[in-house]
Structure 1
C-alpha cells in the first residue's frame, strides 16, 4: 500500500472508476468486476472504487491503482448500507484497501449510533487508515471534516430522504466543500458525461468518481431506451 500522501497525489486531477454490480444485476461477479477495472485502467482511470472483498481481491490481480473499498450491506431498521458497521471496516482493513469509504450521513446506523459517535472509535482503532466520508449535505461534510475523515465525497447527495430530487452532480455542494476544507473533495454521484466531469473539476475538486455511466450497461441502455420512448 502506498503512503497516504502518495495516494492522494496519484488521484489529484484524475478519474476514479467505480466498478460495482449488486447481486440482482447481470454483471455481478468478481471476475467481471476485475475485467471491468482492468478495462478502466487501460482507458486511463487512476483509481478504482469497488464493493466487497471478493471483487477487490480479483481487481488487485491485474490492476495496480489506489482502491476505494466499500462493503454494501443492508441491516434491518437502518437506511445506512455503505460500510455500515465496524465489521465491514475490519474486513476492508484486513484486505488492505487504500481508502475505506463509509456512509457519513446524519442517519442512525445499524448499531443505533450516529457517525459522530462511532467515527472517533473507528479512527482510534485504525489511526493510519485513510477514510472517505460519503455525505449527502454540506453540513454532513463539515461534521466529517471535524471528526477527522481524510477526504469528503458527495456520494449520497440525492440519495437520502432529505436530499431526494437534488440535481446531480451536486456542483454547488462540491464547490463549497472544495473551498472550505483543506482535505480532498471527491465528486461522486450523477456524473453522466465528460462535460459534467469537466464541470466538477472546474469547481476545485481533487478527484472524481464515475460509476454507472461507465460500468453499468443495463442502466446505460435504459437511458438510451428512455430517449426514444
Structure 2
C-alpha cells in the first residue's frame, strides 16, 4: 500500500477545531473528493477522523497524527507514545510525529519515541522535521520517511519561508530515507518541482483543503 505513494500527491484533510468542517463525516467526505481527483494518500489528524476516513476509504494509505495542545510543550504533533497508540488503533498506515529536537511534554526523547513505536506498534513513521540536524537524528533513530512539515514552523526556523527547494535538495542528496515535501506548497508547479528534485511524495494541505483560511484571505481583501 505504501509503495503506491511514490511520486504521488498526498492531501492533508484537516480543519481548525472551531470550524464547522471539523467533523469526522465531513473530513472523510473531503478526503473522498480528493481521492476521486487522483490523490494517492491522505494525511489526517485525530483518531476519530482517521477512523471515519479509513471506513470510507479502506484501501487508501493514511498518514495519521494527533495534534495535542496544552501539554506544556511546543511539540504538538503526536507528542507522546500514547498518542501514537491511539493513531495506530484508529487505522493509520503511517504514524506522523514531531521529530524536532525540542523538549517533549513527558521528557521522552524523539529517538526513544521512534524506537518504542517501531518495537510496540510496528507501523512506519513519518518524521516531521524542521532542520537538517533533526532530519539526521530522525533518520538514524529509524524513521521511515522524513517530512519537511515543520520547516519554518518552529522557534529555530520561524524566519524561513516554506517550501525551500534548496533545503529539500540537500535532504534528498544526503539523507538515506524517502523525503516527503510538506509545508507551504501552494501550486501544482511546486509539487512538480519537489518531485523532480527527488522527493518520494508531496503533501498539500491548506492550498487545497484549507477552506476556512482561504475564505478569510479572500474576504479580508474586501476590507479597507
Q: What residue in structure 2 maps to residue 26 of structure 1?
A: 20
Q: Aligned partners of 1:181 and 1:20: how far apart in 2?
A: 29
Shift of 1:168: 1.1
C-alpha change, 1:95 and 1:26, in structure 2 (3 Å) is closer
The alignment partner of 2:56 has SS state of coil
> Within 5 A, what are the aligned runs for 1:1-229?
6-7=1-2, 9-63=3-57, 64-126=59-121, 128-225=122-219
Q: Aligned partners of 1:228 and 1:174: how far apart in 2?
A: 36
Unaligned runs of 5+ in 1: 1-5
Q: Aligned partners of 2:87 and 2:214: how far apart in 1?
A: 29
Q: Aligned partners of 1:26 and 1:172: how far apart in 2?
A: 38
Q: Aligned partners of 2:13 and 2:71: how far apart in 1?
A: 26
Q: Aligned partners of 1:186 and 1:130: how far apart in 2?
A: 14
Return the TM-score normalized by structure 2.
Answer: 0.93
Return the TM-score normalized by structure 1.
Answer: 0.91
Unaligned runs of 5+ in 2: none
Q: Deviations over 1:27-70 (max 9, x none)?
A: 11111101000000001000000011111111123223100000
Contact 1:185 1:205 in 2 (8 A): yes
Shift of 1:183: 1.8
Contact 1:15 1:45 in 2 (8 A): yes
Q: Give the paired residue count.
A: 222
Q: Aligned partners of 2:143 and 2:29: how far apart in 1?
A: 31
